[in-house]
Chains A and B, each alone.
Chain A
Amino acid sequence: MEHAQHIIDATQDIFSSMIMLEVTAGEPFVRNNDKLINSISGIIGLAGPTKGMLAIHMANAAALAVTSAFLGMEVEEIDDDVRDAIGELANMLAGNMKSVLDPGGSDIKLSMPSAVYGEDYSVDCLAGAQSVTVPFTFDGLGFLVELQLRTDG
């Protein structure tokens, strides 16, 4: 749970500066690989001595609202723009958190973001990493930001 505050700081920072949305953080929890229904997830791997992944999980309605605000245009379906925006959001969140978790800059490297989307799927991180998820809300919509980390050696 030690990273919950990092997630909250990074998410509020990115949302207020890049997306112009104020988001409210809820109580951190450990996600149990619950099914995601009609959702999209932006996922990015973290490599180096500290490994892990960062994911943002959003129901479609939240993803459309965030992408519309991010791109400054109305987006009505989960298309390439939305997939790119949510992947980029994961990338920005990971970059922001890296600057806090790894101020020296050599311990964590970001890989390429992917977007997973669909009517019914689950996302599990493997390999015994520590995990914490923070729920956020804005305008009656919600999303989750999940961080999994493992330090080798």
Chain B
Amino acid sequence: MDFSKIIAETTEEIFNCMIFIDIAAQPPLESGKQAMGCHVSAMIGLTGGISAMLGIHCPSTVGLAVAGAMLGMELEEVDADVKDALGEIANMLAGGIKERLSSEDIDLELAIPTAVAGTSYVISAPKGSQRVVVPFIIEQGRFFVEIKYQLN
């Protein structure tokens, strides 16, 4: 399982087809704690062949741009529309990953997305879990797609 490749492909596909923003994947971040400077995140649990949490993390300006493009409207603050849009993106990303892993005979089921927003927060994963974070660039800045997982 090359999660950085799976994340890059799935994210590019969804942004190209559903959100119509050009994005470019950067090399995955080194593991360890990352101060990503993000103010809105959406995450969703996956379970089955592996136990995982997929998240998308955005600075406010990037979250507004992505949600605005997806909804086709101008957004000015991180409100329920922005959280819903990012939650739906997390859901689509998890769906794409599920599909790719099913071709490797790893079956997964999705939970429902949760949004986290605020001026100061960090999201951590349990000890012993693996973590892959891939940054993407759009005009307004960077966002991050992350998977944390444990083999079952």
Seen from chain A, the residues whose Cβ lies within 8 Å of a Cβ on chain B are 35-36, 43-48, 51-53, 55, 80, 83-84, 87-88, 109-127, 129, 148, 150
Contact = CB atoms under 8 A, between A and B. Distances in A.
Interface residues of B, number: 39
A109 B124 CA distance: 21
Interface of B: 42-48, 51-53, 80, 83-84, 87-88, 91, 109-127, 129, 148-150
Contacts of A126: 42, 83-84, 87-88, 112-115
A58 to B, nearest CB: 14
A117 B122 contact: yes
B124 A115 contact: yes
A142 B22 CA distance: 46
Given A87-B124, A117-B122, A118-B122, 12 more contacts: A47-B111, A55-B114, A88-B126, A109-B109, A110-B47, A114-B43, A114-B148, A115-B124, A116-B116, A123-B114, A126-B88, A126-B114
A88 B128 CA distance: 13
A23 B47 CA distance: 31
A120 B112 contact: no
Contact of B109 (A47, A52, A118, A150): A47
Contacts of B126: 84, 87-88, 112-113
B53 A122 contact: no
B125 A122 contact: no
A112 B149 contact: yes
Contacts, number: 135
7 closest Cβ pairs, A-B complex: A45-B45, A111-B45, A45-B111, A121-B118, A118-B121, A121-B121, A126-B87
B112 A129 contact: yes
Contact of A123 (B88, B116, B124, B125): B116
B71 to A, nearest CB: 14
Nearest to A81: B127
A53 B112 contact: yes
Nearest to B150: A112
A92 B88 CA distance: 28
A53 B111 contact: yes
